[in-house]
Each structure stands twice: as C-alpha cells, then as structure tokens.
Amino acid sequence: MLSAVSAVPTWFQTASRDRDEEVSPSRPRRQPSRHPGSRARYRVGVIVNADNLFIQSLEDLHYSLASADEYEVLRSSHLIRQLLLDGGNSLVERVNRSHRLRIEYAVARVHLPAAGDVATWVAGDAMSPLDPSLAQPNLLRWDQLQKLIVARCEGHEFTVHDLIDYSAHVAGGVHKTDPRDERQAALARLQANESRGGLSPVAATVRAIGQVILLGLDELKDQVLGVARFEDGPGLSFYSNLILAPMDGGEENYLFDIGTDVSANRVTVFLDAHSDLCVRVYDSNRMQHLLRAGPAGGPYRYREPFSLSCEIGYNLNDLLVYVDAPGWSLARVFRGSRGPAVEDNTCHLVVASDVTGRCRGRMRMLEQFIVSKVPSNENRLGSRGYLARRLTERYDAGLEFRPGACMHTIGHPNFPPLATRPGAKALVAPSDERRPILRKPPLPWSD
C-alpha cells in the first residue's frame, strides 16, 4: 500500500499469490445520451419480486440522494415511503421476514437547541453519520428514527416522518398539493430558503435522512444479494485515493480499464458524459452490466480527494459488482452471468484511458492497490478504513493525468512493446508525450 509516488514502480500488486488471477483492459463505448436527472435502465428480464424490488429501490434511492437537484432529492421521499412507511407491508418489513435482522440506523448526535434560543433550526447534513471524525452515533430502530425531531420553524417542531410526508405529498415527491394546515405551510416557507449546495433546508434534511436509511439497510442488502458467498473467492478488487477533474465538452472521463477485449472479460471505471460515476463490466459471455453511483456532488466532488473501491467477484454463474465511495455503497449480483475470465496469470490495467489508448481521462492519482480476489468483509472494511485514514493525512505528491496522458501494465497486448530493463516499472506510459506529471504537493488543483 504505497503512495502514487513510490508506487509507480510497483503499482500493480497481486495481493493473493495463492490465487494469482488477473485481468486486462479494453475499450468502452459511449453511453446513450440522457438527461442528467434521468436514469438509464439496463435491467432486462428481471422478475420483480420483493427482493429484487428492494435492491432496485435502494439503487434508485442512492441515485436520487447523490443529486444536487431539489426535484431529484425530493423524489427520494417516494422511495423512502415505499421502503419503510407502508407499515407491515413495507418493503423492508417484507424482505426482512426471512432474514430476521435487527435493523438499526446510525444517526449523528445532533443537539436540538432550546426553543427560546433558536426560532428556526434544521438538522440538515449534520444528522448524517458519514464523517468518520464525528462522535459515536446514536443507533435507533425505525420507530425511534421516524419520531426524531429534525426541524423547527415558526413555533412548530417536525420529525423525520413529518418531513418525509411533506416532501412526498406536498412538495412533489409523489404529489404536488397545497399545504393542508399551518404546520405544512411553515415547512413550505422553510423550503423556499436555499441552503449550502443549492438544496433547500427541507431537501438537505431529506437527503441526510436517506443516507441514514441506506447505511442502516446495508446489512439486509448484503444478505439479500448473498454477498458472503463471494468473499475470499475468485475476482478482482481495487482500492484508490483520487482527485478528479471535469473533461471538456461532455467527454467521458476514464479512470481505470481492466481487461484486453473490448467487449468481454473487462471492468471499466469511468465518469460518463453527465459526470455519473459508473462501473461497467463485460462478462465472459459478452454481456454488459452497468452500475451507477451518481454525479459530482454525490459520491465524489471535483478537485477534492476521495476514496474509491470496486470489487468484482463470481460464484458459479453469478457475478457480483460492488462499488464504494464516501457514503455510497452500491452492489448488484447478476444472475446467470459468468465473471470476467482470468487468463495466463496476467492482469493488464490501463489508467486514465481505455484498452486502445484512444479514450482520455483527467485526474490525480494519490494511491492505489489491487487484490486478485473478493476480500472477506473484515478485510474489505480494513482496506476502506486504511484509505479513509490516509485521506486525513497529507500526501506529498500525486500523479497528474491530463487528457491524453495514461499508463498501462508492461506487456499489455494492445500497446506497442516497450524495451524494459530488469526491475522496470510495473506501469509505464506509452510514450514520453503521454507520461503523467508528478505533482508536489498534489493539492491545490489549478487548471
């Protein structure tokens, strides 16, 4: 686990020599054009039972909460109601009947000021337990969480349930109607005020509530997907600390491309034309699978360091794709799909481009390491915790990839052969003109 500066010679590391499985990069195609607020659907032939509806609802909730758009965040109230507010018929209640988990939601300890001291107050992002520097959060059951007071204005106090109900049935999450009483009228006036990030205080608090719910449902999600059966099995996992910058003109931004065939046995991590963080997998049957984590402002912010991890595993004919960024942990299992095949114990990687070297990327690499399997949950948490701790430290340098710069593993079959001496770097640039620049220190970013 080395910084980008010292890791250049040994960037690509196979961490489990007992299972030296490796992969190689290749060229992705552009995503279909779509409005930034819409969701492209790649779900074909999925039977909509309670488990599948639960997983897809979590994916949509992730995407809504990752948005900086008021409309999209308020729409998440519909999904929260579907998951939790239909009483004994809620999705969470139905799905958990067979798992019988004790579900608790971690909420940051937010101090409710005395009514005489502060007339208008909202919890907003302060209730989200995503900041690792915060004190130990409160663990609440759903019946306790929905009664938690998260706002005060015009002499009224509002609970989690109040804000979700208002967002769904008055603000437009499900219906757009007039406030039915003075309490809801007070919330409407509160919503008219913008807060940090362009969201109203109401929407900012709904987003924090949604993040609390997603984190609380992580264990149930993993149980439904059967993630444990992939642990310590064949696959590929990589972990990195990055700083991303936007491309011009809506061009896709390629971060990593693993595989050698354009449309088979390939894993690509990239930002699409609308800045959505995406992981695309081509399995050995040449089927494409796509997972979206959301746009800038959600799982990542431009020009700010963040951690990104991606785990790809396969078990018999099922494929696991698991992507994790700060506060966003998305997973999907594709049934009946063979995972990317591992050939010749050689895992080829391209950084900041695709397999052909034609696509481009723009970022600064602070640190990265690769493991040739899906780790156990304990090791997964350890790797992610390590990267989170490293972000709190000061990196001395980072590799800057401007558009056109890239690096690839030695011997990549789709790049010109390079004369290398013994002990040469594991990652090399195709030419001097395409070599990334070593920046000391890596921040601040200046265009």
**How many other CB atoms sit within 10 Å of the CB of residue 276?**
23
Does residue 31 carry a pLDDT above 50?
no
> For tokens 């081509």, what's the residue?
282
Question: In angstroms, how far is CA 146 from the centroid of its own chain?
Answer: 26
Enumerate residues 6+ apart whose C-beta is below 8 A from 147: 159, 160, 161
Residue range 396-431, pLDDT digits in tens = 999 999 999 999 988 889 998 875 555 555 788 998
**How many other CB atoms sit within 10 Å of the CB of residue 95?**
22
pLDDT of residue 16: 32
Domain range list for the chain = 4-31+225-439, 50-218
- Residue of 3, 5, 121, 1 lying closest to 436 (CA atoms): 5
pLDDT of residue 372: 77
Residue range 352-373, pLDDT digits in tens = 999 989 999 999 999 988 887 8
Beta strands at 427-428 and 437-439: parallel, antiparallel or unpaired:
unpaired
Top-confidence residue, 170 or 117? 170
Q: Which CATH architecture best describes the domain 4-31+225-439?
A: Sandwich (2.60)
The pTM (predicted TM-score) of the whole model is 0.78
Rounded CA-CA distance 367/220 in Å is 31
Residue range 272-322, pLDDT digits in tens = 998 999 988 888 888 888 888 888 877 888 999 999 998 888 888 888 888
- Residue of 383, 82, 77 lying closest to 238 (CA atoms): 383
Rounded CA-CA distance 133/143 in Å is 27
What are the Cα distances from residue 360, in Å, to 88, 282, 296, 330, 369? 50, 20, 18, 25, 21
Element (H, E) at 438: strand 437-439
Enumerate residues 6+ apart whose C-beta is below 8 A from 39: 60, 63, 292
Residue range 242-280, pLDDT digits in tens = 999 999 888 999 999 988 899 988 889 999 998 999 988
Average of pLDDT values for 160-182? 89
> For tokens 């032939």, what's the residue?
45
Does residue 100 carry a pLDDT above 90?
yes
